[in-house]
Amino acid sequence: MPVQSCDTLAKKKCLPCEGGVDPISPEQAAEQLEEFPGWRITHEGKRIRKEWVVKNFTAGMKFFEACAQVAEADGHHPDLHLEGYRNVAVELWTHAIGGLSENDFILAAKIDQLPIDLK
């Protein structure tokens, strides 16, 4: 996958992935993440994650609802984490291939465009 801007990726739609393709290498993922402030690689290069501290519990739930709508529209679903009522995180990977695909970066770009009420 060539490195693409967040704006370019946000205009794309996730494509169905049922496996049978190789995941993006950790090196390719690291290069792509240079375009994604705040996101980091986790699970030995197999996932990407971003964390925020929101104003309150309700702000976190509103953000998760917005994430859910974007994810459902693209058919690609993140793991959403809420800890300590204000600490929210989004984790992405393509389950069918056990690693990262372009879909993960498309959804990350779209999530980065969502409003979020930070602390």
Instruction: For the chain, give every domain's residue range.
Output: 41-119
Overall fold of domain 41-119:
Gyrase A; domain 2 (3.30.1360)
pLDDT at residue 18, rounded to an integer:
75
pLDDT at residue 63, rounded to an integer:
98
pLDDT at residue 1, rounded to an integer:
84
> Could you tell me the mean pLDDT of each successive run of 10 residues in the chain, 119 residues long?
93 86 92 96 96 97 98 96 96 95 97 96
Q: Which of 6, 1, 13, 12 is nearest to 35 (CA)?
A: 6
How far are the Cα atoms of 11, 51, 115 from residue 111, in angstroms, in the given order? Answer: 12, 12, 9
pLDDT at residue 12, rounded to an integer:
95
pLDDT at residue 16, rounded to an integer:
83
**Burial per residue of 54-63, b for 16 or more beta-carbon CB atoms within 10 angstroms, e otherwise:** beeeebbebb
pLDDT at residue 20, rounded to an integer:
79
